């Protein structure tokens, strides 16, 4: 029981950290799109779609999913270099 309570407390404490991570990822994606956009139009469209989806999830309060989606966009940008 004690471990369960500690786990729940840790999760609740970490939620604001997830929320602050999303804007950093969005800013990173925006900077990369400005400085070195992918040459493949399909990759560019997918990155923009994922970035918009991540922002919508962030605004809806689903920060864990937002971080995941924004991470996919960053991975696509890294792979396109």
Residues 34-47 pLDDT 10s: 998 999 999 999 99
Instruction: Determine the pLDDT at residue 31.
Output: 93
Q: Say if 45 falls within a structural domain.
A: yes
Report CA torsion sign: 17, 26, 70, 54.
Answer: positive
Q: Say if 28 falls within a structural domain.
A: yes
Q: Say if 12 falls within a structural domain.
A: no
Q: Considering its fold, how many domains does the chain have in total?
A: 1
CA distance 1 to 8: 11
Q: Say if 13 falls within a structural domain.
A: no
Q: Say if 62 falls within a structural domain.
A: yes
Q: Say if 67 falls within a structural domain.
A: yes
pLDDT band per the 50, 70, 90 thresholds, residue 72: very high
Q: Say if 3 falls within a structural domain.
A: no
Instruction: Determine the pLDDT at residue 11.
Output: 56
Q: Say if 68 falls within a structural domain.
A: yes
Q: Which domain holds residue 32?
A: 18-80
Its pTM stands at 0.75
- The larger pLDDT score, comparing residue 51 to residue 64, is at 51
What number is the average pLDDT over the span 46-66? 92
């Amino acid at each position: 029981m004690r471990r369960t309570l500690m786990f729940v407390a840790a999760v609740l404490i970490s939620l604001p950290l997830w929320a602050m991570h999303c804007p950093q990822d969005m800013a990173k994606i925006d900077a990369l799109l400005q400085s070195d956009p992918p040459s493949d139009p399909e990759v560019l469209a997918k990155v923009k779609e994922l970035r918009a989806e991540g922002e919508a999830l962030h605004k809806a309060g689903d920060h864990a999913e937002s971080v995941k989606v924004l991470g996919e966009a960053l991975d696509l940008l890294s792979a396109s270099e």
